[in-house]
Amino acid sequence: MAYLESLLQSGETILARSRPHWIILLAPIAELIAAAIVAIATFVALPHTQLSLIGYGIAAILGIGGLLHLIARALTRSTTEYGVTNLRVVQKRGILSLHTIEMNLDKVESVDVDQTLLGRMLGFGTVAIHGVGSRWDPIAGIEDPLGFRSAITTHIGASK
């Protein structure tokens, strides 16, 4: 998370940082497991038949799709960062093409957090930041959304 450090102004300190939760990797991992199950079932149930080629083909398609999906999600997770400093809230995405959003803390009006039961158990959720005259798109799947919200709301009053 070097981007956030490179952005700091004099006297600015990092209060909280986060990134997408590892749960975003679960769907592609499930695809890879499904590919392995199809390959094993084909090997056991249809050894050396014409239908085995179809089974192995389906397993290969699932496996390649799952691997590409996993690589894309892992890159997204590793190149996305969210941060709260004593002056602003920052969101950064991308490597080659960079997309950043910033909002000064004195412009933040409220922060909403939504968490499902699974999100509460595993520590992820959605954070929506409402500012004066603007609203960020909700940040879905963020790690420790309550801690992120607390870092913002604790310093909203201090910055005003």
pLDDT of residue 6: 86
- Residue-level pLDDT at 8: 85
Mean per-residue pLDDT, 1-12: 82
- CATH, residue 110: 2.30.29.30
SS3 124: strand
pLDDT, residue 150, reads 92
The residue among 147 and 134 whose pLDDT is bigger is: 147
Question: What DSSP element (H or E) covers 72?
Answer: helix 50-79
Same domain assignment for residues 101 and 149 = yes
The total number of structural domains in the chain stands at 2
Q: Tell me the average pLDDT of the chain.
A: 90
Summarised one tens digit per residue, pLDDT across range 96-124 is 888 888 888 888 988 999 999 999 999 99
Check whether residue 71 and residue 122 sit in a common domain: no
* Domain encompassing residue 57: 25-75
Closest CA to 128 of 94, 103, 155, 100: 103
**This model's pTM is above 0.85:** no
